Amino acid sequence: MHKIDARGKVCPLPLFYTKKQIDGLKTGEELEVLSDDVTARNAIPQWTREHGHEIVKIEESGSDFKVIIKKH
């Protein structure tokens, strides 16, 4: 599984990193994104759905959140 740790970065950077990494993945591969940005918490899942990818899991722990995305 590919991973991005975008904690400490503010949007649009976590979303930009997510888009860039997803573009390099093959269909069916998964990406784990870690972030602590409030805007990214909504923007990344929204972007994922709008572009036809699957949200496998979203976990929250304090101010951090993790989203696992499967490329379609």
Among all chains, which residue has been given the structure tokens 């696992």? 68
The three-state secondary structure class of 64 is strand
Distance, in Å, from the CA atom of 9 to the CA atom of 71, rounded to the nearest integer, reads 23
Q: How many domains does the chain have?
A: 1
pLDDT of the residue at 11:
92
Alpha-carbon distances, residue 9 vs 45, 54, 65 (angstroms): 17, 24, 13
Does the pTM exceed 0.85? Answer: yes
Q: Encoding tokens for residue 29?
A: 């591969």
| Catalytic one of 9, 11, 25, 64 | 11
The residue segments making up the domain with residue 28 are 2-70
Tens digit of each residue's pLDDT (9 = 90 or more) over 1-58: 999 999 999 999 999 999 999 999 999 999 999 999 999 999 999 999 999 999 999 9
Q: Encoding tokens for residue 6?
A: 């975008």
The reply to whether 27 belongs to the active site is no
CATH code, domain carrying 54: 3.30.110.40
Distance, in Å, from the CA atom of 26 to the CA atom of 13, rounded to the nearest integer, reads 22
pLDDT of the residue at 23:
96
